[in-house]
Each structure stands twice: as structure tokens, then as C-alpha cells.
Amino acid sequence: MNEKHLALLLKDVEAWNKWRVENPEAQPDLREAHLNEAYLFRVDFHGTFLSRANLSGAFLSEANLSGTNLEGAFLSQATWTDGRKCREGSLGRPVFKEEKKNKNA
């Protein structure tokens, strides 16, 4: 994990996104970062290494996750654009809680 990348992100998502625009070839390293319960609305994580990061309960609405490595990331209760939450134990890619289906349907 790159401590400078983490510090910038935790300081301000807008500053992080501005840095991403100014450094489009950068591949931020946030492996094993503790981002649980973080408010990451519209964060630009494209191409970011987030493997084994703790994103439990993070608010990721409208986040750009294209090309993001989420292998082994903890995504329990992370909130996505459509308001769905990841179920506990999600690994690699978001896995959402299944909505209860009507048994009569």
C-alpha cells in the first residue's frame, strides 16, 4: 500500500479525483487499506489496486471502479449506486444480497 495515496484519498475525495485527472496513467496502490465506513461518493478508483482492502460499509455510490482490482476485498455492507449492499464475505467482485423473492411468483 502506498501511504501517500491513502493519505490523499482520506483527506478529500475531490482532491483525489483531481489528482487522478492530472495523473491518468497512475495505478494507485491501496492494497489492504482500511476504508471501512468511508464516504467515497463519486470516487475515481479506475485502475486502483484495492485487493484485500477493507471497504466494509463504505459508501461507493457513483464510484468509477473500472479496471479496479478488488480481489479479496472486504465489501460487506458497502453501498453501491442503486442502493444495494454487498453481503458479508464478498470476495473479488461485488456480490449483492439477493432480494427476497415472492414464493408465489
DSSP notation for 29-58:
B-TT-B-TT-B-TT-B-TT-B-TT-B-TT-
State yes or no: pLDDT of 86 exceeds 60. Answer: no
* pLDDT at residue 33 in the model: 97
Q: What percent of the chain has pLDDT over 70?
A: 76
Q: Which domain holds residue 21?
A: 1-105
Which of 33 and 78 is assigned the larger pLDDT?
33
State yes or no: pLDDT of 89 exceeds 90. Answer: no
pLDDT in tens, 40-68: 999 999 999 999 999 999 999 989 888 89
CA 41, 46, 49 angle in degrees (round to 5)? 105
Q: What is the dihedral of CA 13, 9, 38, 67, to 10 degrees?
A: 90
Distance CA 38, CA 9 (A): 10
* Domains of the chain: total: 1
